[in-house]
Amino acid sequence: MATISSTGVATGIDWNSLISAILQQEGQPVQRLQDQQTANNNRLAALQKLQGDMNALSSSAATLGGTAFDARTVTSSDTNNTYVTATATGAAVGSYDLQVTQVATAGKISPTLSGGLPTNLAVADPLATPVFSGSSASFAIQGTDGVIRTLTLGSANNNLYGLRDAINALSTPDPNVPGSKGLGVTATVVNTGSGANPYQLVLTSNTTGTGTTGGVVTLADVTAGGAVNTLGIAAGTVDSMTAPTTISGGLASGGANVAKDALFSVNGVQLTRKTNSVTDAVAGVTFNLKQGGQTGITTLTVGVDKSSITSAMQDVISKFNSLLSDYKGASAAGGALYNDSSSRGFISQIRSALTGVPAGLSSTATFNSTASLGVKTNQDGTLSLDTTAFQAALDKDPTAAKQVFANSGVSTSAAVSFYGAGPNTATGAIGFNITSYVSGGAVSGTFTVGGNSYTLSGANGSLVGTAGTPLEGLILGVSGVGSGTLTVSRGVSQATQDAVSSITDYGSGMLTRIISSINDQNRTLASQITVGQARLDRRKVQLQAQFAQVESVIGQLQAAGQSISGMG
């Protein structure tokens, strides 16, 4: 291939500069394609940034309309939390008086002590001291949950650690036995550091409470022919070594080692539970029983966690303001979204959803918009929160405040309770007539929306709206027959999520379609740029060859002229 130096020796012409100028002129179409590709990439980056902002806002709105308003504080009259503590989520605001008589304990088996020294279940060396005589020994263990499992030790694990590990291995159900359950007991070896046999075996139930055995844990030597162990484990029997269901004899929990149920009272009502974490005494409240023998009363007061709810509200506002800031930066003169009507429409749509009136909310509602709760629109378009007004609203009626943000439903009949709604659920008044109800069984009824009737059937006291109807997404609890009206409203949190979904949903969202279109354009541009650049590359080679030829011819002419001049 012909080459040419930067400046022609014969002509003194800068051929490369000339070629570059020609290619620059001829490459303007390719340059326009590249400029369009760069503009597309800048717009794509800006739109993807907005998409991320919208999704972050949607997630924050989902939290606000979902669990944020269920946040509760619990204060106690016992500053030392001696007998009981509590946590609450979504619980009714109020006070609860508790008295703990007895906490739940776990059943166990531990060595019997005499003069402070163990008389059984203890060895001098957990690895070297044999726990049985003979070739093998078999044991059965039952926890307070009633599950019985068996094991056999051999010469390879004839020591205290071997017995401990074999017991703990039974926590996994036996895959060879249908219906097998894991043993509900954990074995530990404790080194007391004193006496001739400092290493002691302790078996403890994995759960508290009396269970099905009256709180007793049992360990029995079920070796054929009688006990062969040296640990003082009494002989016992089981009805099967592979799938035992009954056990007799052996060493069992006694005295303080027998598990106990928790005994306590709430507002004067005596209660018993098998665990110290009580979740079913008061809806939304978990009581954690810590110590029994209480003679006085601990008063636990549940209140609305205004700080937590305010933080969730502030987060939504912050996410919207971040979205707005990124849009303003990209849509300013010279920005990637300058004069972009689509992105401007997206911001307007989301703002309307976030600051609008919840669809279906009663005109007599205590609060009917975010503005009534202290959310303000500033001159620059950003949002801000009057925290004093917001928290005053929470003090006045936290349920009404929540209805501004969350999907809600108010029923005129105790037979129907609102559990949830979706983006396609009709709002406003829905008439209902529950015609059939069986406790724990079938339930059915007719619902009327806009003059049209729909029949729903369900079971176990619940009904779910049919897809493709105005009831789609509706979830109801039913406790009996009856008729009435259910007024459904869609909170601004759900409206904001719906707005973001309509914009960003894969395949159907307007923004995703725009992004897909830009990517398609860029693929076409990339192909055209590749073809155009290849043409320019060929043109460059062609020009280099042509100018090299010119340089060569002129050089030859100059040489011939010099030769003739030399002959004169």
With cut-offs at 50, 70 and 90, classify the pLDDT of residue 276: very high
Tell me what pLDDT residue 27 has. Answer: 63
Per-residue model confidence as pLDDT tens digits over 220-247: 999 999 999 999 999 999 999 999 999 9
- Mean per-residue pLDDT for 195-209? 97
Query: Which distant-in-sequence residues (6+ apart) come within 8 Å of 322 by Cβ?
Result: 53, 56
Q: Which residue has the higher pLDDT, 22 or 455?
A: 455
Q: In which element (H, E) is residue 166 found?
A: helix 160-169
Tell me what pLDDT residue 516 has. Answer: 83
- Mean per-residue pLDDT for 488-511? 90
Q: Which of these ranges, 59-73, 271-285, 381-395, 500-514, has the smallest mean pLDDT?
A: 500-514
Class of residue 446 by CB neighbours under 10 A (exposed 0-12, middle 13-18, buried 19+): middle
Q: Which of these ranges, 106-110, 132-136, 313-317, has the smallest mean pLDDT?
A: 132-136
Give 238-241 contacts, CB < 8 A, sequence gap 24+: 238/140, 238/148, 238/150, 241/138, 241/150
With cut-offs at 50, 70 and 90, classify the pLDDT of residue 422: confident
Whether 4 shows a pLDDT value over 90: the answer reads: no
Tell me what pLDDT residue 464 has. Answer: 96
Whether 408 shows a pLDDT value over 60: the answer reads: yes
Phi-psi region of 547 (alpha: psi -120 to 50; beta: other; left: phi over 0): alpha
Q: Give phi and psi for 31, each to the nearest 5.
A: -60, -40
Q: Which residue has the higher pLDDT, 518 or 211?
A: 211
Q: Which residue has the higher pLDDT, 521 or 64?
A: 64
Q: Which residue has the higher pLDDT, 23 or 180?
A: 180
Mean pLDDT across the chain, nearest whole number?
A: 91
CA pair distance 547, 16, nearest whole angstrom: 9
Tell me what pLDDT residue 30 has. Answer: 73
Closest C-alpha to 53, from 337, 375, 334, 356 = 337
Tell me what pLDDT residue 270 has. Answer: 98
Output the CA angle 359-360-363, nearest 5 degrees. 105
Residue 313 · residue 492 · CB < 8 Å: no
Whether 11 shows a pLDDT value over 80: the answer reads: no
Classify 450 as helix, strand or coil: coil
Tell me what pLDDT residue 1 has. Answer: 43
- Mean per-residue pLDDT for 440-448? 94
**Beta-strand pair 475-478/218-221:** unpaired
Whether 511 shows a pLDDT value over 90: the answer reads: no
With cut-offs at 50, 70 and 90, classify the pLDDT of residue 6: low
Whether 8 shows a pLDDT value over 90: the answer reads: no
Q: Which of these ranges, 38-47, 123-132, 285-294, 445-454, has the smallest mean pLDDT?
A: 38-47
Helix axes 306-331, 28-66, angle to 10 degrees: 170
Regarding pTM above 0.95, the answer is: no
Closest C-alpha to 99, from 293, 340, 264 = 264
Classify 258 as helix, strand or coil: coil
- Mean per-residue pLDDT for 424-431? 93
Residue 159 · residue 139 · CB < 8 Å: no
- Mean per-residue pLDDT for 318-341? 94
